[in-house]
Amino acid sequence: MIESTKKPGSTVLVIFGASGDLSQRKLVPALYNLMLDSWLPDNFAMIGVSHHDRTTDDLREILKDGVSKYSRRDFRGNGDWERLSSSITYYKADFTNPESYKGLAEELDAYDEKWGTKANRIFYLSVSPQFIEPIAQNINTSGIANSIENSRIVVEKPFGRDYDSAEHLNKKLREHFKESQIYRIDHYLGKETVQNIMAFRFANTIFEPLWNRNYIDSVQITVAETVGVEHRGNYYDKSGALRDMIQNHLLQLLCMVAMEPPITYEADEIQNRKVDVLHSVRPFSTDEKVQEDTVRGQYFEGVVEGETIEGYRDAKGTAEESNTETYAAMKVYLDNWRWKDVPFYLRTGKSMPEKNTSITIQFKPVSHKLFPSEATTNLPNLLTINIQPSMGVKLCMQAKKPGLKMSLNKVGMTFDYDDAFTEATPEAYETLLLDVMQGDSTLFMRADQVEAAWKIVMPILNYWENNKEKEFPNYAAGSWGPQKADDLLERDGRSWLNV
Ligand SMILES: NC(=O)C1=CN([C@@H]2O[C@H](COP(=O)(O)OP(=O)(O)OC[C@H]3O[C@@H](n4cnc5c(N)ncnc54)[C@H](OP(=O)(O)O)[C@@H]3O)[C@@H](O)[C@H]2O)C=CC1
Ligand SMILES: O=C1O[C@H](COP(=O)(O)O)[C@@H](O)[C@H](O)[C@H]1O
């Protein structure tokens, strides 16, 4: 495990695609907050690479705008931004042109010379997927990744668009970098409340003995977003909820909640336990299984949080007869000792009535009914891990309602981040960028993890692509998704717990 309280050593962060949306909305605001919290190395520089004619001042202005709009801390005009921006320079290059990398090499060497040390070189690929291969190759052939220990490459999602392309990309990356140098981002893993799942499960005595098929009836994982496809129609219409959310974020949440206890808090050990979960997912082995246990949806015009949202097919960049799902739900089983016959229900959707990312564990009913049925609400114990926007854990149980008769009522025990902690919550990208600088890959995706996750969704992707959904669009923006998603649970005598 990496010493997490230590400031990283001298670092040059090269962001390919520095003028793009991700860089403005997430990466540079994260650097800004790391700087304010004194986490940036004493010797730090950022080189922003993209292809339009720009000066360093132009890039700084673009990024300043991003920080002022998106930083979790208010933008303060007291010289803080200038402290960060003075370490940012612009480098104009065509990603695909090997010649462009010569000047970059000179700039990187100049920092080593100035600081009198071999600085960490982090190559952050905030670029469209088709550029990953040529950039990795050009970094390698130009020799700018100067050593295995000091050089790291960070790759954004989407990591491939199916199993074959992800496997190919892994192979190509490994032609140029060692696995220990490759940091595949899934920003959900950087979220404070997602990291807390490990603490919650493995730093407390009371939950783990119950965390299995003997006590748990079922698990629900929900990632509901109020936003629709917005300006990302071009990307999203070729992706859909299964690729965009389930293959990565939801399967990672599944891993966190279902994994066996790791022996040590080491990156490889934790990733091994997560891969075990993915390998244990019962395959969707036939088209009938896909039809039975999965549901897809696409929203039509509706009202979300009081605002009318146009239908998905009317959004810019989407096809008129688009077959792309904006909602996906499924039931999966894990064929292993701990979870045999416990269903895990996963769902995610855009244009839902509320933003809610949560995991709910439904416990089995008590083994013997002691109280007369009119006295009890018959509600099972529920443990909800709220990931966002509300952050915390809530346990629902039954208690005697005060009064002269024995009557039970549902009550809750709540741990809320806002009440429990005074510390601010860092954004996921702050955690992840700091981890890359410190060389800690615990919260990143290993090659086999990504491939195992693709393997799970491939039969669904194939079936959905080859069989157009005739009922699309099939849920109103602002509703909880298609009726069939409710039916999926109703068949099992359960229902979605919109808590
Ligand atoms: N935006 C987001 O919220 C999220 C994005 N991602 C992923 O991050 C990656 C980047 O996304 P995003 O920032 O939105 O993309 P953008 O399209 O906004 O930015 C692309 C960047 O690449 C540069 N660029 C494009 N072609 C070339 C080229 N041939 N040579 C040099 N520079 C080039 C552009 O430079 P210029 O300005 O000069 O044109 C720009 O800086 C994608 O893989 C995306 O899927 C992942 C999660 C969320
Ligand atoms: O990766 C993605 O995640 C966002 C949701 O992220 P969150 O941190 O706001 O929960 C999603 O909107 C986007 O479509 C997807 O590409």
- Considering the domain architecture, whether residues 330 and 214 belong to the same structural domain is answered as yes
**Same domain, residue pair 198 and 144:** no
187 annotated ligand binder? yes
Are residues 300 and 393 located together in one domain of the fold? yes
Contact 95 CB / ligand 1 (< 6 Å): yes
- Closest Cα partner for 359 from 372, 344, 340? 344
- Nearest CA-CA partner of 429 in 223, 185, 166: 185
Asked if the structure places residue 131 within a domain, the reply is yes
β pairing state of 392-400 and 151-155 = unpaired
Contact assessment for residue 219 and residue 362, using Cβ atoms and an 8 Å cutoff: yes
- 494 class by beta-carbon count within 10 Å (0-12 exposed, 13-18 middle, 19+ buried): middle
**Residue 292 maps to a domain:** yes
Tell me, yes or no, whether 112 and 233 share the same domain: no
Measured in Å, residue 186 CA sits from the centre of ligand 2 at: 10
Which tens digits make up the pLDDT trace of 344-355?
999 999 999 999
- Cα separation of 395 and 374, whole Å? 23
Report which bound ligand comes closest to the CA of 132.
Answer: 1
According to the model, what pLDDT value does residue 4 have? Answer: 63
Which ligand is located closest to the Cα atom of residue 326? 2
How many CB atoms lie under 10 A from the CB of residue 308? 10
Domain contains 362: yes
Stretch (H or E) spanning 201: helix 192-202
Question: Is the minimum distance from the CB of 186 to ligand 2 under 6 angstroms?
Answer: no
Report how far ligand 2's centroid is from the alpha carbon of 356 (Å). 12
Kindly provide the residue ranges of all beta strands, DSSP E only, lying in 271-352, ordered along the sequence. Answer: 294-297, 299-300, 302-304, 307-309, 327-332, 344-349
Range of the domain at 120: 11-156
Does 126 contact ligand 1 (Cβ within 6 A)? Answer: yes
Residue 242: CB partners within 8 Å, gap ≥ 6?
296, 325, 328, 457, 460, 461, 464
Does residue 162 fall inside a structural domain? Answer: no
Same domain, 150 and 199: no
pLDDT tens digits, one per residue of 140-150? 999 999 787 88
Instruction: Assess whether the C-beta atom of 244 lies below 6 angstroms from ligand 2.
Output: yes
Looking at the domain assignment, is residue 167 inside a domain?
no
Of the residues 156, 179, 202, which one is the last residue of a structural domain? Answer: 156
Tell me 216's DSSP state.
E
In a domain, 439, yes or no: no
CB-count burial class (<10 Å; 0-12, 13-18, 19+) for 96: middle
- Whether 21 and 67 map to the same domain: the answer is yes
Question: Contact 428/444 with Cβ under 8 angstroms?
Answer: no
Which amino acid is located at 343 in the chain? P
251: burial class by Cβ within 10 Å (0-12, 13-18, 19+)?
buried
Do 149 and 199 sit in the same domain of this protein? no
Q: Of 431, 452, 494, which is closest to residue 188 (Cα–Cα)?
A: 431
Within 10 angstroms of residue 282's Cβ, the number of other Cβ atoms is: 14
428-442: string of b/e by CB count within 10 Å (b at 16+)?
Answer: bbbbbbbbbbbbbbb
Query: Same structural domain for residues 207 and 129?
Result: no
Give pLDDT tens digits for 231-274: 999 999 999 999 999 999 999 999 999 999 999 999 999 999 99
Residue 123 parent element (H or E)? strand 120-125
Instruction: Assess whether 127 and 209 both reside in one domain.
Output: no
Distances (CA, A) of 110 to 82, 102, 350: 22, 13, 47
Q: How many residues does the chain have?
A: 499
- Give pLDDT, residue 1: 45
Domain boundary among 138, 156, 174: 156
Largest interatomic CA distance in the chain: 85
pLDDT at 298 (0 to 100) = 98
- Asked if residue 308 and residue 207 are part of one domain, the reply reads yes
User: Which numbered atom of ligand 1 lies nearest the CA of 52?
Assistant: 38
* pLDDT for res 497: 92
State the DSSP H helix or E strand holding residue 413, giving kind and residue range, or none if neither.
strand 408-416
The answer to whether 244 is a known ligand-binding residue is: yes
CB 157 within 8 A of CB 185: yes
Closest by CA position to 16, among listed 137, 117, 115: 137
**CATH code of the domain in which 381 resides:** 3.30.360.10
Query: Would 354 be classed as within a structural domain?
Result: yes
The domain boundary residue, chosen from 136, 156, 176 = 156
Domain membership flag for residue 449: no
Please give the positions annotated as active site: 249
Q: What is the DSSP letter of 131?
A: G
What pLDDT score does 352 carry?
98
What is the number of structural domains in the chain? 2
CATH number of the domain residue 65 falls in: 3.40.50.720
Residue 394 near residue 411 (C-beta atoms within 8 A): no
Q: Looking at the structure, tell me whether residues 202 and 337 fall in a common domain.
A: yes
Q: Are residues 223 and 298 in the same domain?
A: yes
191 known ligand binder? yes
Q: HSE (CB half, 13 Å, CA atoms) of 447?
A: 17
pLDDT tens digit string along 7-46?
999 999 999 999 999 999 999 999 999 999 999 999 999 9
ipTM computed for the complex:
0.97
Q: Report angle CA 439, 6, 385 to the nearest 5 degrees.
A: 75
Segments in the chain below pLDDT 70: 1-5, 499
**CA 37 to CA 144: how far, in whole Å?**
30
